[in-house]
Structure 1
Amino acid sequence: MKRRLITYMALPVVWCLVSGYVTIGSLFLGLIFGMIVVEPFSKLYRLDEVVHPTGDWLAKIPKKIKYFYVLIKEIIKANIVVAKIVLSPTINIKPGIIAVPIRAKTNIGITGIANTITLTPGTLTVDISDDQSILYVHSIDATNPQGIRDSIRDDLEKYVLEAFE
């Protein structure tokens, strides 16, 4: 079974969950919207590859669930830190751009870690090196660049690598 077919079968379900309506029309609309949104990214995510429902594909489902759990936890923690910065009477921060070496080698792994960083409040992936080994990350408080690098490597990238590479 090709990844494209699996993706196209999942998108109407996601659309129904988001919209709150489970009808034939809603499923059809989710399929149409999904096809329009996913098609430009089909080469990046290798949607024409054949996926066998055994082996690596099934084994990564628990790792992907763990990744999403860690992502939600990190987003909540970062929201609290950003809220403390914003609500403090004096803002004592030093924003900056930090070079973060990454271990991800595939396009989906690199995209996953870059998007994970961007989803976390207070950080934003702004660029990637030509050899795709370093992400440049803007941080709202770059007073401890090594701590940010370690946090990305240990708290985020580890789970992206397990789930998507």
Structure 2
Amino acid sequence: MLQNFLLNILLTFVWVALTGHLDYTNFLFGYAVGFFILWMINRSVRGNTEYFYRVPKIFAFILLFFYDLLKANYEVTMDVITPNYNMRPGIIKYELEAKTDFEITMLANMIALTPGTVVIDLSKDKKFMYIHVMYLTNKEQFVKRLNNRIEKKLLEIIR
């Protein structure tokens, strides 16, 4: 997988050098062209396709995270600028599927980066995470959303 990534970056820089424009849109387009070229070359090679399944999942996860980030920012902003407070704070005991320290740290970062949620503590056996939620209307729905929308998708990328 690392070999394909490095080849993709090399093809991206070749694209940028050939076009003569170094900006983020040209870089992303060059990355996409390099990804497509590598995918076409490696289609016939069996067992070397992990990179080509993981990269689209990473981009989808980034888009999903930015959507959640914008939605949470809007919710907190509207609560701050309006006279009525809609906050319903609560603390959740969340059972983790993440096992390694890296997986737990990445999940905690994703939770902490979203406005309205803060990771308070981690149990000593690293099986539970305690999360403070600013807008907790339905505990089960929040846990289900966190599990299905963030943790499972993050673990698919990392593992």
TM-score range, shorter chain: 0.5 to 0.7
Q: Is the 8 A contact 1:123 1:140 kept in 2?
A: yes
2-side partners of 1:76 and 1:117: how far apart?
A: 14
What is the aligned length?
121
> Could you tell me which of 104, 112, 118 is aligned with 1:110?
104
Change (3 A) 1:2 1:69: closer
Task: Indicate yes or no: 2:103 matched with 1:90.
Answer: no
Q: Give the corresponding residue for 1:127.
A: 121
Percent of residue pairs bearing the same amino acid type: 32
- 1:135-146 equivalences in 2 (<5 Å): 135-146=129-140
2-side partners of 1:65 and 1:107: how far apart?
A: 23
2-side partners of 1:118 and 1:61: how far apart?
A: 24
With normalisation by structure 1, the TM-score equals 0.62
With normalisation by structure 2, the TM-score equals 0.64
Q: Which of the two has greater helix per residue?
A: 2
Change (3 A) 1:116 1:80: same
Q: Please state how far the C-alpha of 1:2 moved relative to its aligned partner.
A: 8.0
Change (3 A) 1:88 1:146: farther
1-side partners of 2:158 and 2:2: how far apart?
A: 17
* Structure 2 segments unaligned to the other structure (5+ residues): 14-21, 23-47
Task: Indicate yes or no: 2:53 matched with 1:59.
Answer: yes
Task: Indicate yes or no: 2:158 matched with 1:164.
Answer: yes
Q: Please state how far the C-alpha of 1:97 moved relative to its aligned partner.
A: 1.7
Question: Once the two structures are superposed, what CA deviation does each residue of 1:34-91 show, in whole Å capped at 9, x if it has no partner?
Answer: xxxxxxxxxxxxxxxxxxxx45345322211111111111101111111222222121
1-side partners of 2:122 and 2:98: how far apart?
A: 12
* Structure 1 segments unaligned to the other structure (5+ residues): 14-21, 23-53
